[in-house]
Structure 1
Amino acid sequence: MATAWLQSIWPFALTVAVIGSTLFTAFLITLPTQYSPNKEREDEPSIQVIVLGDIGRSPRMQYHALSIANARGRVEIIGYQESDVHPEIRSNKSITIVPLSPTPSSLRTENKILFLLFGPLKVLLQVCTLYHTLGYRTKPARWMLVQNPPSIPTLIIALLICFFRNTRLAIDWHNFGYSILALRLGPSHPLVRLSKWYELFFAKFATAHFTVTNAMGRVLRENSGIQPFTLHDRPPDYFQPLSADQRRDFLRHLRDITQFPDVMIDGIHSGRCMLLVSSTSWTVDEDFQLLLDALVEYSKQAVENRGHFPYIIAIITGKGPQKDYYLSKIDSLVEQGKLGAVSIHTAWLASQDYASLLGAADLGVSLHKSSSGVDLPMKVVDMFGAGLPVVGWSKFEAWPELVKEGINGRGFESADELCNSLLELFSGPTEDLARLKSGALKEGQRRWGDEWKPVAGRLFGLGD
């Protein structure tokens, strides 16, 4: 009986074994090629910069790429191309852009239930795309620099490719992926717990780590034993204050983009109007309602005390899923007459225009709430580079690493506090705003290259 059973399954087992061994052999034969240090000069390393997101909306990774290329390294920057990258990225002959195939729009959703259903399929597509791109569409490199988050599936694919290709992996920690996921699902959700384990476990196998704050480095050391380098965000050189003539010329250009009338430009020059700017991703990580509530209250105070408070022109830049929702709320508030002393305009600007906008503005607003409490909004760094003082959401640990209260900016923890800051800075003694501007100019003097060279440049063999 047993012999008959063995004889009946033997052909099937043999077929499975042959197919399995054939597939395994094919896998071994087609493994990605390995990096060989003999094929490049020691002082001209090849480095891949990985962004599992829109390259154009990942300024820090673009700055990494430019710094590497300017220090004689060769760069492949890999990610989605959904918006324009920095012009110097395209013109630099040492940088190659390798686009990833975009995720189907049908799998992108803000609905919590659909997110749980579509999430695994989206990750599977990203796994296939990323593995094929890193393993077969690109040449092996000495280093791979990966932006985190997203950590799923980036970290495990990057580690696998680095193992096959004899490449060293560096992780650039902008935040924690599990803390962002917790905004959708809650901190106690099983997927959030699994994401945290995955992120911290696999990250340990990387060769090196950079964090954007000292606080983030402390968390990594305490939770996983990782010993990172702190690499603070700093503005690149093209963020600069504007002269009076430059400001006037840019405002005329901005008028064509945002459609505000000439009388507002005259008001900005005379001080009767204040130009306020905020950059937002229009997500739950940045509560735009705070700014909206503050502007409504400011307008109320300005209308009741006519002539005492200046008119505010607010320019909001950025793209994101909640933009249409808030645009409809703004239209409703205008119809109700609740923004009589405020004009709100939205725009998506090229990098140079955005830099000029910051240089032309009177005050910047940061709505970044920090899901982890230990990351920092890069937009504030850019504002300081343009000499623009900042008011920002400050209820998280890392905020004082960047903003010095009353010196280069102010923090707020509610819409009322934000409104009070606007009322005080725009109608109080002019030296208050001037003092913050002076502090912003001083903070912005240290540039990205000054921070990058002794930390990342030295690690990659590109330091002085």
Structure 2
Amino acid sequence: MAFPWLLLWEVSLTVAVTASTLVTIIILTLPSAFSHFKPHEVTEADFTDDDTEDAERSGFAYYQQHENEAGTLEIDATVQVVVLGDIGRSPRMQYHALSIANNGGKVDLIGYVDPSVDINPDVKAHRLINIVPIPVFPFQATSRLSFLFLAPLKVAFQFQALYHALGYRTKACKWMLVQNPPSIPTLMVAQLICFLRNTKLVIDWHNFGYSILALRLGPEHLLVRISRWYEGYFAKSATAHFAVTNAMCRVLKEKWNIDALPLHDRPANHLRPLTENERIAFLKTRPELEGQPFNLDDRSWRLIVSSTSWTPDEDFSILLDALVRYATIRKREKSLPRIWAVITGKGPLQAYYKSKIQQYVQEGNLNDTIISTAWLSTTDYARLLGSADLGISLHTSSSGVDLPMKVVDMFGTGLPVAGWGQFEAWSELVKEGENGRGFGSGDELCGILQQLFGQEDGGRQLSRLRDGALRESERRWEDEWGPVAGQLFQLRNDER
């Protein structure tokens, strides 16, 4: 009978010694703390000759306007902008970084850096933004079993990588702005570093981490329930919160008694409407149209664009089903234009759907239809949206209260949208019949394509939606950010 007690003692002793060692290491290597009496200093030496030539973009113009007699720009508003994901695929966090820097704050932008994914060139050019890459966990789960095995190892790897980046590779900052999700281990590390470094934590809620995990494991799985508790527990003590929708603010209040400020996504300045000549000029550069009998002037075809991360919360089969049905109907109704569909983005399900598309093509189910996938630069992506006739959003929302930023991008170029509209927050962004249309199935999407592209009143309907999208394009990120985040960070600069 002594054996179980002996084993329990040895395990307990091992855990105690390990915990004590970790606490000792943390205490002996505590990171520096932020001091309100030591502002960050920027001098002319921090700018290159190229920076001085492109003064607005690099921040040199701001430096010249605000330097003191000693030639130093003193910055008290320093911010760590943190995303435990790829920076290039996190446009909202890049917009945050640019807005902070453009209004006189110093930014450390911390996240993954994928060489194949473009970071916004304005972010890379700005000298008040320091990009701090963190290493990526080297293994990928290929099944539910491997996910459960690798998940703890991934969390441990991310914990140390993020802790090291926030605590030792960057100076102590006044604020830390963290994207959520992912929640694990981001919120725990952020809270620990903010406690040790005298930093104020702000959480930017894009969605709920536990609801995304539920897509893989199911809503009642033990890990999902733990994730829900963890997310609420480590979020409550943050200094402030932003949320992408009013509906998310309401849920945060009801679920965890968290008061969040609504900060809706708005398009950045590089997303703008194009003239007809600019649209045609761009489309003539696309290799997908080589050899195709498309008349770019009379638009005997229609271009639809969908941006996707190829993940389970975007059911791409809905668009495929709609295009197959549309192609079948067009065999009878020749007045319907042909369709060219471009799907941009990268993700885990891309190979599966590309093989499915190829199967439909071989079976003759997509006659007179071009479906192409692409990964574009920031500039070309904006031009593609500005050249399209209709944007498609397949985002289904794991929580029901987030919104797809791709729709905001589309509106920024004056592009009307058809999207999956069967969730609560959809109406906060898309006004039915004014700037877009919602659908709940492939059949409904096919019907929308027929209505908007058909000769009977289709042109007038599409034109009305485009007018609404153009009105929406006038509402820009900086207009939304200044009164909310700018005021919180005490950065809004009305002189500029």
User: What TM-score, normalized to structure 2?
Assistant: 0.87
Give the partner amino acid of 1:459: L
- CA spacing shift, 1:431–1:19, aligned 2, 3 Å: closer
**Equivalent-residue separation in structure 1 for 2:478 and 2:21 (angstroms):** 51
Contact 1:276/1:315 (8 A) holds in 2: yes
**Equivalent-residue separation in structure 1 for 2:16 and 2:271 (angstroms):** 62
- Secondary structure of the 1:39 match is coil
- Cα shift readout 1:23-68 (whole Å, capped 9, x = no counterpart): 7555323101000111117864110100100000000000000000
| Match 1:181 to one of 213, 229, 234 | 213
Residue 416 of structure 1 corresponds to which residue in structure 2?
443
Residue 45 of structure 2 corresponds to which residue in structure 1?
none
| Match 1:121 to one of 153, 157, 166 | 153
- CA spacing shift, 1:421–1:190, aligned 2, 3 Å: same
**Equivalent-residue separation in structure 1 for 2:295 and 2:202 (angstroms):** 49
Residue 129 of structure 2 corresponds to which residue in structure 1?
95
Equivalent positions of 1:33-432 (< 5 A) are 33-40=32-39, 44-82=76-114, 83-104=117-138, 106=139, 108-253=140-285, 255-256=286-287, 259-261=288-290, 263=292, 266-306=294-334, 308-427=335-454, 428-429=456-457, 430-432=459-461
Contact 1:44/1:72 (8 A) holds in 2: no
Contact 1:47/1:74 (8 A) holds in 2: yes
- Cα shift readout 1:115-168 (whole Å, capped 9, x = no counterpart): 111111111100111111111111100000000000000000000000000000
Identity across aligned pairs (percent)?
Answer: 58
Contact 1:268/1:274 (8 A) holds in 2: no
**Equivalent-residue separation in structure 2 for 1:391 and 1:158 (angstroms):** 38
After superposing the two structures, state which structure 1 stretch, 241-250 or 338-347, moved more. 241-250
- CA spacing shift, 1:456–1:38, aligned 2, 3 Å: same
**Equivalent-residue separation in structure 2 for 1:133 and 1:183 (angstroms):** 30
The 4+ residue runs of structure 1 with deviation greater than 3 A are: 16-27, 41-44
**Equivalent-residue separation in structure 2 for 1:186 and 1:19 (angstroms):** 34
Would you say how many aligned residue pairs link Structure 1 and Structure 2?
443
- CA spacing shift, 1:22–1:121, aligned 2, 3 Å: closer
Shift of 1:271: 1.6
- Secondary structure of the 1:137 match is coil
Contact 1:268/1:275 (8 A) holds in 2: no
Contact 1:407/1:436 (8 A) holds in 2: yes
Contact 2:345/2:375 (8 A) holds in 1: yes
- Secondary structure of the 1:234 match is coil
Residue 485 of structure 2 corresponds to which residue in structure 1?
456
Shift of 1:269: 2.5
- CA spacing shift, 1:299–1:125, aligned 2, 3 Å: same
| Match 2:462 to one of 428, 433, 442 | 433
**Equivalent-residue separation in structure 1 for 2:206 and 2:272 (angstroms):** 24
Give the partner amino acid of 1:441: L
**Equivalent-residue separation in structure 2 for 1:296 and 1:186 (angstroms):** 31
**Equivalent-residue separation in structure 2 for 1:346 and 1:25 (angstroms):** 52
**Equivalent-residue separation in structure 2 for 1:289 and 1:71 (angstroms):** 44
- CA spacing shift, 1:23–1:152, aligned 2, 3 Å: closer
- Secondary structure of the 2:424 match is coil
Contact 1:274/1:311 (8 A) holds in 2: yes
After superposing the two structures, state which structure 1 stretch, 237-246 or 442-451, moved more. 237-246
Residue 442 of structure 1 corresponds to which residue in structure 2?
471
**Equivalent-residue separation in structure 2 for 1:137 and 1:375 (angstroms):** 33
Give the partner amino acid of 2:99: S
Contact 2:308/2:343 (8 A) holds in 1: yes
Tell me, which stretches of 5 or more residues in structure 1 are unaligned? 1-12
- Cα shift readout 1:358-414 (whole Å, capped 9, x = no counterpart): 100000000000000000000001101100000000000000000000000000000
Shift of 1:267: 2.5
- Secondary structure of the 1:223 match is helix
Residue 69 of structure 2 corresponds to which residue in structure 1?
none
Shift of 1:244: 1.6
Residue 5 of structure 2 corresponds to which residue in structure 1?
none
Tell me, which stretches of 5 or more residues in structure 2 are unaligned? 1-12, 41-73
Q: In angstroms, what is the RMSD of aligned CA positions?
A: 1.8
